[in-house]
Amino acid sequence: MFDPKQFGEMLNNMQDTFKNMENQNKQTTLTAKSGGGLVSVSCNGNGELIDISIDDSLLEDKESLQILLMSAINDLYKNLEQNRQSTALSMLGNLNLFGGSNNA
């Protein structure tokens, strides 16, 4: 039987979980490198780019710099998507969608 009170509690728990996830994402830093570390890019778990590091040796070679930067950014986006999927699965695992009872 549908219990509106339990449903309301479940929604409140979901809101709290989303807020916690958002705060955790702000604290998470993901980094990707290319060219053996000549280029490094970092973002937080929300996808905001927070750092780019380029070795001085690449400043004279624009084409190589562009290729390595694109590679690092693409890898960073892949890492970000994997992190989001992992976080979402973890969050769903922590939600008690059925009220904690196992009625068989």
Structural domain harbouring 37? 25-92
How far out from the chain centre does Cα 54 lie? 23
pTM (predicted TM-score):
0.71
pLDDT tens for the chain, residues 1 to 104: 677 888 788 788 878 877 887 788 788 999 999 999 999 999 998 899 999 999 999 999 999 999 999 999 999 999 999 998 988 888 777 655 555 444 44
* pLDDT (0 to 100) of residue 71: 98
* pLDDT (0 to 100) of residue 73: 97
The amino acid occupying position 34 is S
Q: Is residue 30 helix, strand or coil?
A: strand
CATH number at residue 59: 3.30.1310.10
**Residue 12, domain member (yes or no):** no
Q: Is 60 exposed, middle or buried (0-12, 13-18, 19+ CB in 10 A)?
A: exposed
**Residue 72, domain member (yes or no):** yes
**Residue 11, domain member (yes or no):** no
Q: Is 23 exposed, middle or buried (0-12, 13-18, 19+ CB in 10 A)?
A: exposed
**Residue 78, domain member (yes or no):** yes
Tokens for 31? 């980094």
Number of domains, the chain: 1
